[in-house]
Amino acid sequence: MIRIYTAPSCASCRKVKSWLRDHQIPYVEKNIFSTLLRESELRELLERSENGTDDIISKRSKIIKENKIDLDEMSISDLIHFIQENPSILKRPIIIDERRFQVGYNVEEIRAFIPRELRRLQECSNSDFCPQFTNIKKDYYDEYKKAGN
């Protein structure tokens, strides 16, 4: 299941949600300001980030600049606690599933989140005959409905 970490005033977050809805891809939204981010979630984001804190934390954040915070000097536990207390330092949106991780909205890169079943469905719909077309479509949309969308 895709999770997206968002903020209400974030235009890129609205674009991601709209794109996912338009492609009928189920997701779970986590508003970083109204939901306490669990330690396990933040650890996962840090682990999946190719460049550590650079990928997910805005070092230009007012909190970081004004307090002259050196993230590199923090232990992982201190960093996680700091993020929990100051979620505004996170870049947004953060999109994650079992295999993929993306920060920000990029119209090309987000296509990687199209499920394999839908990619096969698209391939089938582009061919003259695909007997699996009906079953693939039905299975995918049944799962979509179960996810609450």
Peptide bond into 26 cis (omega under 30): no
Q: Which fold has domain 2-114?
A: Glutaredoxin (3.40.30)
Please give the model's pTM, rounded to 2 decimal places: 0.78
* Nearest partner of 49 among 79, 9, 24, judged by Cα: 79
Which residue among the candidates 10, 13, 124, 130 is catalytic per the annotation?
10
Cβ–Cβ under 8 Å, residues 14 and 103: no
Question: Is there a catalytic annotation at residue 130?
Answer: no
Please report, for the chain, the start and end positions of each structural domain, with discontinuous segments joined by +.
2-114, 115-149
The pLDDT tens digits for 106-147 are 988 998 898 777 766 666 655 555 555 556 556 666 766 676
- pLDDT of 103 strictly over 70: yes
Query: What is the 8-class DSSP label of residue 35?
Result: S
